[in-house]
Amino acid sequence: MQVKDEGYIIKILKHGENSLILTVLSLAHGKMTGFVKSAVTKKKLGVYQLGNKISFNAYARLEENMPQFRGVELLESHVVHFLSDEKKLAVLSAFCELFNISIPENEPLEGMIRLISQFMDNLGDEMWLRNYASLEFRLLYFLGVGLDLGSCAATGTIENLAFVSPKSGRAVCFEAGLPYKDKLFKYPHFVIDKNVIPTYEDVLDLLKLNEFFLRKNFFDAHGLQFPLSRANLLEKLV
């Protein structure tokens, strides 16, 4: 196997004295894990950081073997955005662990990699957290456990949708959901209509919804441990 690609580093492990094992969300080949020889040097310290975008050549004698990443070059350094902001750093940790566990190895990411790139490229935008919450929401659909938010589960109407049922994952209109509002999630209008500008509370509400359905519909269903960094994210954002 021999491929050339680029992508975002989401996991770094020490291998031997001065080598690393990297996990990368690549543009063309999905999640890839490979080792890099002689990576731990002062000169290369800034390259191998979580969130950084790199280019690389991957080599393996057999398809089932872990490839070696060669010719690694830094394309975009995002670490400066994260290290200067505790909230962004918490989101980076949650993002890396969440995507590393949930995304299968060597399967194309299709539209997800475009959304990941948009999130990374706009970290300086004031709506960066909205972008991340929206990315998580799209992850539900990528994993095949997306929600049905097109019409009210109780009445069938497409008007005045205001809530999401934790039981069915379906939308509920305001009139039908009002008596049970404390047991329902808020409807995420801003991920359905790009013209809606969310408040900070709206974004936190979507993160709560994402966590619930990721746990219930994917992690619990597959017997996987929900990432601790993601489980602790909300308390670091309030």
Dump pLDDT digits (tens) for 8-33: 999 999 988 889 999 999 999 999 99
Whether 64 has a pLDDT exceeding 70, the answer reads no
Look at 198 and 65; give whichever has higher pLDDT. 198
> What is the reported pLDDT for 40?
82
pLDDT in tens, 105-123: 988 898 999 999 999 999 8
pLDDT in tens, 180-212: 999 999 999 999 998 899 999 999 999 999 999
SS3 at position 207 = helix
Task: State the number of CA atoms in the 13 A half-sphere of 115 facing the CB.
Answer: 19
pLDDT in tens, 156-169: 999 999 999 999 99
Tell me the longest C-alpha to C-alpha distance in the chain. 63
Quick one: average pLDDT of 148-177? Answer: 97
Whether 92 has a pLDDT exceeding 90, the answer reads yes
Whether 41 has a pLDDT exceeding 90, the answer reads no
Would you place residue 63 in the very low, low, confident or very high pLDDT band (cuts 50, 70, 90)? low
Task: State the number of CA atoms in the 13 A half-sphere of 65 facing the CB.
Answer: 11
- Residue 238 burial class via C-beta count within 10 angstroms: exposed 0-12, middle 13-18, buried 19 and up: exposed
3-class SS letters over 68-137: EEEEEEEEECCHHHHHCCHHHHHHHHHHHHHHHHHCCECCCCCHHHHHHHHHHHCCCCCCHHHHHHHHHH
**All structural domains of the chain:** 2-77 (2.40.50.140), 84-237 (1.20.1440.120)
Strands 53-59 and 2-15: antiparallel
Share of the chain above pLDDT 70, in %: 99
Quick one: average pLDDT of 67-87? Answer: 89
> What is the reported pLDDT for 141?
95
Average pLDDT, the chain: 93
Whether 142 has a pLDDT exceeding 90, the answer reads yes
Length of the chain: 238
Quick one: average pLDDT of 71-80? Answer: 89
Would you place residue 135 in the very low, low, confident or very high pLDDT band (cuts 50, 70, 90)? very high
> What is the reported pLDDT for 39?
84
